[in-house]
Amino acid sequence: MQQEYAINDGDFRKIVQLVMNTAGIVLSDRKRPFVQSRLGRRLRALGMTDFRQYCRLLEAPAGEEERSNLINAITTNHTAFFREPHHFTYLANTVLPKLAAGPAGQSRRLRIWSAGCSTGEEPYTIAMTLREHQSALKDWDVKILATDLDTNVVTHAAAGIYDSDRLESVPPPHRKRFVTELDADRSRVNDEVRSLISFAPLNLLQKWPMQGPFDVIFCRNVVIYFDKPTQRKLFDRYAEILRPDGSLFIGHSESLLNVTDRFDLVGRTIYRRVK
């Protein structure tokens, strides 16, 4: 029988503060059972007897690796291929034609950032959409950057291998063209799609190594974990790294209302940079 670990108020507050300072994620009191369950696995893996011992490790100079494991453990990575499909319809039918119809002298490049890419379903969906409509941007230099705070899911995403039931939301024509079955239970996204994407771990609250500019940013179901001041700073940084008129896609439960005035709403959870 697995040992159950109880977390007291003091240790919970220490972990909440560390997560907030490191990742900007707000953990309310109602998240205590979730934190206790997720981190209980870390205590078992480390052979520890209680959360006090675990907090000592997190606070120590030698705890840098475990602080990364902590963030990985409490990060929720729910995603799916072609989730919120209207975003990809807008990308294909509005964004790409607009870019293709731009001035003759404009740079023939397209840069898209999937910020909070989780296990990779979002950037692979973006890449499938681009490949399906590549005639609109023939001979363009196209690249997708996919980043996530959780190093484990970035590794999973870069491999491009999924349980076959995860691919059921991919339309059959796309699945036939872009996915190869490895065995009865697993499939792999083809190189035609994977070659467009660079995966990397990235903390959105820290310094960004890339300079942009990006034409499109997907940041969906990420800022729901942040408080309003953190959201304001993040969306201001997005505006700075987006081209004027660039597109921002956010999650179905998110909004920029009373957060920033640098974007105009142009569709359902779709925004255009205006400042």
Q: What is the pLDDT of residues 64-107, one digit of tens each?
A: 999 989 998 988 777 999 999 999 999 999 999 999 988 766 77
232 has catalytic annotation? no
Options 11, 42, 111, 148, the catalytic residue:
148
148 has catalytic annotation? yes
What is the structure's pLDDT at 105? 64
Q: What is the pLDDT of residues 209-227, one digit of tens each?
A: 999 999 999 999 999 889 9
Options 13, 38, 108, 243, the catalytic residue:
38
CA 50 to each of CA 41, 45, 57, 73, 79: distance values in angstroms, whole numbers, following the listed order: 12, 12, 11, 17, 32
What is the structure's pLDDT at 248? 98
Q: What angle do helix axes 51-59 and 64-74 make, rounded to 10 degrees?
A: 120
- Which domains, and CATH codes, for the chain? 9-74 (1.10.155.10), 86-273 (3.40.50.150)
Residue 1 has pLDDT above 60, yes or no: no
The single-letter code of the amino acid at 69 is N
Question: What percent of the chain clears pLDDT 90, i.e. is strictly above it?
Answer: 86
